[in-house]
Amino acid sequence: MPNPDYTGRFAPSPTGELHFGSLVAAMGSYLQARSRQGTWLIRIEDIDPPREVPGSAKIILSELGRLGMRADRPVLYQSTRMDAYNGACLALVEKGLAYACRCSRKVLRTDGTYPGHCRKLALDPAEVPQIRFRASDESIDFEDTVMGMNSQNLARAVGDFVIRRADGMPAYQLAVVVDDAHQEITEVVRGADLLDSTPRQIALQRALGLPTPGYCHLPLAVAADGSKLSKRAGTDPIGNARPETAISMALDFLGHTPPEGLNLDAIWFWAISHWDSDRIPRRRRLPAPVDVLPG
Ligand code: GLU
Ligand code: ZN
């Protein structure tokens, strides 16, 4: 019987192949779940057709399988969940917590926040696709497993944010909240590039009456000199690297160095039995150019 108190997930967007950064996120979520005998799920976040790369969902799933990570339930595709996202948006409008907005990006302030033109217009969400959530002027605090205490004033930091886009598609912030609740996720493990999104997601959970899971943000790779990596570095596919090599490098990146010479099963056995989230570093250098991972 799996531990009913822990459910984690890996939620890639099908915008390309699995790369080192997404391998780290997959592995971190997998090991947090497996080391607790919990459940581990995969969700494909395919709700952004303009950014989608055809075929990449299939490649990501087969890569995860080749590397030894298999989900405990069928994969959930967000493209099958449009009714749930629309329902949540309309419920928020109904409650006065969100509103339809016909403004384009041009009206945004230089800091990217929305000045609120449509806040009081009560436009009809059946006619105006874009919907914004009202950001309240209060600080949202949460304790992250790796990154510690975080707090953000939503109104000041992001302002009223989009939950349904002008093209009618749900925004990431809304869909992720609806599905983390739907899949009964108890802890969200993902890359620290999404640390800043977490307060928006907590605000949406509160507004929708959904539970707030735990959060565990994994370090992002920085270049050997400590600077942020270029867009290309770290986003190179794992390609045909040996599974043992890719897995060992990602483990090492997360503060766990397995003994050398183990086969894939033995590395996973070692990792699951030695996994300790206290050892995950907040900042980490990329071990070697990942585009030259030995094949
Ligand atoms: N789909 C998002 C991404 O690939 C991650 C969502 C999440 O883990 O919350 O960047
Ligand atoms: Zn507007």
- Average pLDDT over the chain reads 92
Ligand 1 within 6 A of 152 CB?
A: no
Whether pTM exceeds 0.75: yes
Same domain, 68 and 94: no
Number of domains in the chain: 2
Question: How many A from CA of 224 to the centre of ligand 2?
Answer: 44
Across 46-60, 92-106, 272-286, least confident range: 272-286
Q: Are residues 21 and 75 in the same domain?
A: yes
**Using the 8-state DSSP alphabet, how is residue 201 labeled?**
H
Residues 120 and 131 in one domain: yes
The least confident of 1-5, 219-223, 231-235, 266-270 is 231-235
- The tens digit of pLDDT for each residue in 243-293 reads 999 999 999 999 999 999 999 999 999 999 999 999 999 988 776 555 445
**pLDDT on residue 294:** 47
pLDDT for the residue 23: 95
Measured CA to CA, the distance from residue 43 to residue 159 in angstroms comes to: 28
Give the separation between CA 203 and CA 140, rounded to whole angstroms.
Answer: 8
| Tens of pLDDT, residues 122-181 | 999 999 999 999 999 999 999 999 999 999 999 999 999 999 999 999 999 999 999 999
Neighbours of ion ligand 2 (CB under 5 A): 101, 103, 117-118
The rounded Å distance from CA 92 to ligand 2 centre is 16
Report the CATH number at residue 125.
3.40.50.620
Integer Cα distance of 287 and 259 in angstroms: 17
H runs (alpha helix) in the chain: 20-34, 56-67, 82-94, 154-157, 172-182, 198-208, 243-253, 264-274
Q: Does residue 167 form part of some domain?
A: yes
Q: Answer whether residue 24 shows pLDDT above 90.
A: yes
pLDDT range class, residue 232, cuts 50, 70, 90 = very low
**225: Cβ contacts below 8 Å, ≥ 6 apart:** none
